[in-house]
Amino acid sequence: MFDLKSYRNKNKLLIIGSILFVILAYFLSFSKTLDLYIQNKGLEKKAILSQNAPEKIRNLKKQLGIYEAKMQKFGQDSLSKDEYRLNILTQLCKENNVVMVSLPESFFQKEATESIETQEIKLRGNFIDLLKLIYTIEYKTSLGMLASVKFVTEEDRRMRVQYLYAYLYIQNLKNRKNEN
């Protein structure tokens, strides 16, 4: 089989055996240990982040209170907020050559301490103009958080023309204590 008398063959077998031993040791013990080490590091990071969570929650509640105080300072109730939103959207639509097709009443989802107001807006225009308007709403106005955008092409059967519509969903978080 093998001539074990020469030192060269013995050294080759020793090197091959040690490589096989290292590979076997890695797969049987070291790989599991490394996986657990990486998982432990991730959990330690999450634990550190969770220690700061109550402080972050307090800061966010303070900011929410400040923003709500500013809104009350301007004397905007829910009707004037809708008028404000309509005025801003109308101005943005004129600037971007977009048609506002519908602006139905807001939908409220009530949770334990806050409620989420969702406003659906249907716009019609070309793709670039709609994207410019969406960018402006999301980054340059204070209408709320842009939660979702959906693009749909619909055909006007009378005119036999296809139009591109964008459905925008804008959400606002409200404290239920201050809603009264």
- Tens digits of per-residue pLDDT, 146-156? 999 999 999 88
Cα 63 to chain centroid, rounded: 20
Alpha helices, DSSP H only, in the chain? 7-25, 31-51, 53-73, 78-96, 127-140
Average pLDDT of every residue of the chain: 84
pTM summary value: 0.53
Query: 179 vs 33, which has greater pLDDT?
Result: 33
Distance CA 118, CA 156 (A): 28
Going 26 to 32 to 35 to 40, the CA torsion angle's sign is negative
